[in-house]
Chains A and B, each alone.
Chain A
Amino acid sequence: MDILSYLLPLFDLEVLWVIALGTLGGLIIGALPGLTATMGVALLIPLTFGMQPVMGLNMLIGIYIGGIYGGCISAILLRTPGTPSSAATVLDGYPMALKGEAGRALGMATIASTIGGLFAAVVLATLAPQLAGVALRFGAAEYFALALFGLTIIASLSGDILKGVISGLLGILIACFGADPITGGLRYTFGLSGFASGFAFTPALIGLFALSEVFTQLERLGRDEKVTLKVAGRWPTRADMRDSRGALIRGSIIGTIIGIIPGTGSGTASWIAYNEAKRSSKTPEKFGTGYPPGLAATESANNAVCAAALIPLLALGIPGDVVTAVLMGGLMIQGLAPGPMLYVTNPDVVVGIFGGTFIATIFMFIFGMALIPVFSRILMIPKHILAVTIVVFCFIGSYSINLNPVDLYTMVGFGVLGWGMQKFGFSQPALCIALILGPMMEANLRRGLLQTHNDLGAFLSGPITLVFLGLAALSLFLPLLAQAKARRNQPQLK
């Protein structure tokens, strides 16, 4: 009865309208490269000052959910991840669009995002207090092991393992630029004060994937003019859904787990989910060629993170990722202190947020599906015009994040780098993963060594650490074994 009375205000027309508006706004923000969900939520917090807590917070949650989802639209259509969380979606989404299956790819991504989102919302509403405790057990050693596990994905993502490892190491090197995480000292800034934070991540990503693709397209301009203008429906086939079942389940679970762990976000979750889907697939070779289960994995995972990151926030007062950290500010402005007491003092707000995540996810599904034909029209734009437009967006997007001119050089530099890597068969995803996880690995390794006075043994104890280290070993050696086996088998086939 209580719960019902707390949920009732959500079905007020005005509240629904605000959640819908937030979700749609988030969707557009997410689709525009350089504008991230974090930014959307932060910029719109002042709008919520005058609103009832449940209404204001759910508008922000709508922006969050819509924003993480929206990233897939430009990732699929333009090879430009709208937000870092959709970088992995590029791998199978863009090849599908090239094959004239943009509609089906967007449909799959929308369905996957919805399933991941709803799964995590159910977990949030039922198990939040129990699961939140897990988040507290992550210390330096656990984070280090998680990052190491994430990095081993590189081995299975790259066709050529040596080139993949080189790409990954390059990414780790690049991630070392900027402030040292432990001493605060500046490294490799070449005396440029605008470079004090190192390479900004989103401009790097925009250059790496989007600008490099423009370069590649320009090279081909005039050579192959065969452009696929077909968008082909919006619903995935029954076979797609069957093939993707495992990827959807794994993606939702992985996204939820990673979401609960503070300090990790949807970027990490989508890469790990992608790798797990590929590793457990019977047809791993199809991943990266425009295979719907690849999309299903990344998109279910990154949207599961949204609701999951609210779990430690609501249960413990600990934000699960950057966006929820901003949301915490939104809660506090309403005079609500997130934490265990919130369940006691403001159950209406907690239940209202649970309900809001469901409603926002449903709105996301409706808007996503309805707008597929509109978005897909982007592909109808002649290639040379599209290329110019993308370049303009790359510049605006990169500059608008920090208003730091150095970010423009970063974007262009990574554009050239990405183009070269593509040309010579080096893995851009491997570089991207290293950029996300390298800093996490370094900071936690050094923090752990500092705390234990250089006792490496601390990194080899504890159940969570051991599980991740085991997974890392598995993920590193299985692809190597598979490759060796394939090489052994090859001569017999001839």
Chain B
Amino acid sequence: MKITAALAATAASFLATAALAQYPERPIQIIVPYSAGGGTDLSVRLLAESLTRHLPNARVVVRNQPGGGGSIGTSAAIHARPDGYTLGTGAQGPISLLPHMGGTDYQLDEVGFVALFGRNLQVLVGCANAPFQDFDSFMEYARDTPVQVGNSGAGGASHISAEAFAKVANVKIESVPYPGAADARTACIGGHIDAMVASPAEALAASEAGQMTPIFVMEDERIDLFPDTPTAVEKGVDFTWSSWKGIIAPQGLPEDVQATLQQALAAAVEDEEFLKAMDDLGEFVTFEDSEGYRARAEADSEIARQTIDDLGLTGMNN
């Protein structure tokens, strides 16, 4: 009796470890819904490399599936087989913004969140020849004259954040869409627009060279890279915004797989080599578990829903 129980227990624990040891037995794919070489793509590649060091036996392959502002690759990840071998990159645009405009074959509540690993902090910068040099002169100017703010694509994060800020701060802006952040940045340095929303990495070198002027940071507190630049919050405008990315999966992953993944990701994000490379890339690393990640996505989705509705873009692609 005792022996059978002991045997059963051993067998059970053996099976359990066997099941755990089984994942991953094949290469894990992470879909990036953008072309190779962009900021999100590069950081996922760095994460994948780090993950192989912290998930025993893992081989991680990054697969680019661009198009539709990220909705095509995101859809592929959400609709994959929920076995932990196809994961996706959950970026703010395709998850929290695009579904409001329609044309996506998924909604926020169909996303399986695993863990968030990075945020892109946002700085509003004045461009070459802009008629304002700091927060106060920006606000004064923008109260009467619409500021032309470049963004990296209509309906994208930098468009929504600029419009949402303008509404909260009660200032006038005119959004000027470009095909991507690089194009908007070029127009900004060339003085063809008045301002743009940029990431610290995009803005740092140009600000030091006098090609751009940081106006305010969209965080609660000042950031290390721009210690002299105020936040909107401290200037009395209650507005924060950052874009983010994490690892998503189809809903219904086996519990042990979800746990193994989350644990490995937590370790991969703290890997020193990873942190150093992300720092050089100008990426802000932060870890949030699936609950925190989901809460963030839902909160941003709500801000975006209102802004997109105000802009008259709701359901435009249905």
A38 within 8 A of B: yes
A137 within 8 A of B: yes
From A303-311, A312-320, A423-431, the one touching the partner chain is A312-320
**By the criterion CB–CB under 8 Å, are B176 and A451 in contact?**
yes
The residues of B that contact A332 with a CB separation of less than 8 Å are 201, 280-282
Q: List 18 A-B contacts (CB under 8 A).
A: A38-B35, A39-B36, A49-B49, A136-B190, A181-B154, A183-B313, A184-B69, A185-B316, A185-B317, A193-B103, A194-B68, A316-B189, A325-B182, A333-B42, A333-B281, A340-B209, A404-B67, A450-B174
- A221 CA / B156 CA spacing, docked (Å): 51
**By the criterion CB–CB under 8 Å, are A337 and B205 in contact?**
yes
The residues of B that contact A334 with a CB separation of less than 8 Å are 280
**By the criterion CB–CB under 8 Å, are B280 and A333 in contact?**
yes
* Minimum C-beta distance from A121 to chain B (A): 23
For B65, the closest partner residue in chain A by CB is A403
Using A182-B154, A447-B176 as known contacts, say yes or no to A193 and B75 having CB atoms under 8 A apart. yes
The residues of A that contact B187 with a CB separation of less than 8 Å are 139
B72 within 8 A of A: yes
**By the criterion CB–CB under 8 Å, are B280 and A402 in contact?**
no
**Count, A-B residue pairs, CB within 8 A:** 162
Using A179-B69, A185-B317, A447-B176 as known contacts, say yes or no to A41 and B37 having CB atoms under 8 A apart. yes
Interface residues of B in 19-63 (CB under 8 A from A): 35-39, 41-42, 45-46, 49, 63
Using A138-B190, A333-B277 as known contacts, say yes or no to A197 and B45 having CB atoms under 8 A apart. no
**By the criterion CB–CB under 8 Å, are B209 and A339 in contact?**
yes
- A200 CA / B64 CA spacing, docked (Å): 14
Q: Which of A139, A184, A325 meets B37, CB within 8 Å?
A: A325
| Nearest 5 pairs of A and B residues by beta carbon | A196-B68, A184-B154, A42-B36, A326-B37, A42-B37
**By the criterion CB–CB under 8 Å, are B65 and A402 in contact?**
yes
Interface residues of B in 295-316 (CB under 8 A from A): 313, 316
The residues of A that contact B35 with a CB separation of less than 8 Å are 38, 42
- A136 CA / B176 CA spacing, docked (Å): 17
The residues of A that contact B193 with a CB separation of less than 8 Å are 451
Using A179-B69, A193-B68, A333-B42 as known contacts, say yes or no to A319 and B182 having CB atoms under 8 A apart. yes
**By the criterion CB–CB under 8 Å, are B280 and A335 in contact?**
yes
**By the criterion CB–CB under 8 Å, are B190 and A184 in contact?**
no
Using A329-B42, A402-B67, A443-B179 as known contacts, say yes or no to A183 and B280 having CB atoms under 8 A apart. no
A470 within 8 A of B: no
- A41 CA / B76 CA spacing, docked (Å): 25
Using A197-B67, A337-B205, A339-B206 as known contacts, say yes or no to A329 and B38 having CB atoms under 8 A apart. yes
* Minimum C-beta distance from A56 to chain B (A): 12
**By the criterion CB–CB under 8 Å, are B45 and A193 in contact?**
no
For A194, the closest partner residue in chain B by CB is B72
**By the criterion CB–CB under 8 Å, are A262 and B280 in contact?**
no
Using A184-B153, A184-B154, A333-B42 as known contacts, say yes or no to A193 and B105 having CB atoms under 8 A apart. yes
**By the criterion CB–CB under 8 Å, are B189 and A136 in contact?**
yes
Q: Which of B64, B69, B177 meets A447, CB within 8 Å?
A: B177
**By the criterion CB–CB under 8 Å, are B37 and A329 in contact?**
yes
Which one of A42, A180, A184, A186 has the greatest number of beta carbons of chain B within 10 Å? A184
* Minimum C-beta distance from A308 to chain B (A): 15
* Minimum C-beta distance from A168 to chain B (A): 22
Interface string of A162-186 (1 = CB under 8 A from B): 0000000000000000011111111
**By the criterion CB–CB under 8 Å, are A317 and B206 in contact?**
yes
- A179 CA / B103 CA spacing, docked (Å): 11
B109 within 8 A of A: no
B104 within 8 A of A: yes
Interface residues of B in 176-228 (CB under 8 A from A): 176-179, 182-183, 185-187, 189-193, 201, 204-206, 208-209, 211
